[in-house]
Structures are given as structure tokens and as C-alpha cells.
């Protein structure tokens, strides 16, 4: 228990990042948010669009006074991108884009927050615990299939 406070701080910090990621994911169902910065011969951008996180580079916009730009608009259309296969990478002659779904980024953040506590998990389970866990996983998967078929 030497580094208990450090482990707690690590988990709390990643927990805050996970909550912010979930809030941005929820907001992305109604609004498309984007940030960009123009520097020299390219414009670098980050976008939150319909449940995915996109970032990349494109040609610059000429005639703009400020190098930083932020925009938000109602989500009126779906870009047809769900982030599969993830991480997606698209490159053309003018731009490149990376795409990650929010569920994947949130899962990674939660895993990072729980890493310091792995040493406290009992890695030996009884047969009863294994059967209960298997039943719960099967039930959740069954509910997911049922919900997807509706």
C-alpha cells in the first residue's frame, strides 16, 4: 500500500476523462463540434460527429484572420461513419483523417484508470464464481441480440 494515494489520483483523473468522453459522446447525438488550427500549409482539425471522434489534416482556408477556429452546429445528417473498422484511417491527395468511435475511446480510458488496481484482483476463482460470471455475460449478450433485432 505504498503508493495508494498515487493510485487513487491516477484512477480519479482517468475517471474524469471518461466522464468527459461520455458527455461529449452524448452531445454528439445532437451537435457536431469541431476545432481547427491553421499553420502554414495545412489545417489540423478535431471533430466530434455522431458518436465518433475524427482528427486529421486538410488544406488551409485562405483569407481568415485567426489561426484558431471552433464551430458547433446541429447534427442534421449522419456522415455514414461508425468508426468500423477502428481505428479507421483515410487518406486522399488533399487530406487525411483518423476515426475512432467514442465507445472505444471510453473503454480504453476506463481500462487505463483501473490498471493500478490489477494486483488486488484475486486471480483464482471458484467454479461457482465462474458459472455466475458466464451466466451474466450470456444474459447481457442475449439482451443485446434481442435489442438489435427489434
Q: How would residue 111 be classed by pLDDT, with cut points 50, 70 and 90? A: very high
CA gap 101, 91 in Å, rounded: 18
Q: What is the pLDDT of residue 36?
A: 85
Task: Report the side by side order of strands in the sheet with 88-91.
Answer: 68-74, 31-39, 42-49, 52-58, 96-101, 88-91
Contact (CB, 8 A) for 52 and 81: yes
Following CA atoms 101, 105, 108, 114 in sequence, which dihedral angle do they give, to the nearest 10 degrees? -130
pLDDT, one tens digit per residue, over 26-61 is 888 788 888 888 877 788 888 888 778 888 888 776
Q: Smallest Cα–Cα separation from 38: which of 77, 10, 7, 69?
A: 69
Contact (CB, 8 A) for 52 and 100: yes
Q: What is the pLDDT of residue 53?
A: 84
pLDDT, one tens digit per residue, over 7-21 is 899 999 999 999 998
Q: What is the pLDDT of residue 14?
A: 92
CA gap 88, 84 in Å, rounded: 7
Query: Which residues lie below 8 Å from residue 146, measured CB to CB, with a gap of 6+?
Result: none
Q: What is the pLDDT of residue 66?
A: 65
Q: Choose between 117 and 136: higher pLDDT.
A: 136
Helix (H) or strand (E) holding 10: helix 4-27
Q: How would residue 83 be classed by pLDDT, with cut points 50, 70 and 90? A: very low
Domain segments of the chain as ranges: 4-123
In this predicted structure, the answer to whether residue 78 has a pLDDT above a threshold of 60 is no
Does this model's pTM top 0.75? My answer is no
Amino acid at each position: 500500500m505504498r503508493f495508494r494515494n498515487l493510485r487513487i489520483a491516477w484512477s480519479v483523473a482517468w475517471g474524469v476523462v471518461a466522464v468527459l468522453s461520455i458527455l461529449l459522446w452524448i452531445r454528439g447525438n445532437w451537435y457536431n463540434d469541431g476545432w481547427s488550427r491553421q499553420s502554414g500549409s495545412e489545417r489540423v482539425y478535431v471533430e466530434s460527429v455522431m458518436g465518433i471522434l475524427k482528427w486529421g489534416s486538410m488544406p488551409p482556408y485562405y483569407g481568415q484572420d485567426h489561426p484558431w477556429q471552433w464551430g458547433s452546429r446541429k447534427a442534421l445528417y449522419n456522415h455514414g461513419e461508425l468508426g468500423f473498422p477502428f481505428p479507421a484511417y483515410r487518406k486522399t491527395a488533399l487530406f487525411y483523417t483518423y476515426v475512432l468511435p467514442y465507445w472505444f475511446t471510453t473503454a480504453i480510458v476506463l481500462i487505463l484508470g483501473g490498471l493500478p488496481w490489477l494486483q488486488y484482483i484475486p486471480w483464482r476463482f471458484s467454479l461457482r464464481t465462474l458459472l455466475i460470471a458466464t451466466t451474466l455475460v450470456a444474459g447481457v449478450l442475449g439482451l443485446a441480440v434481442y435489442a438489435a433485432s427489434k
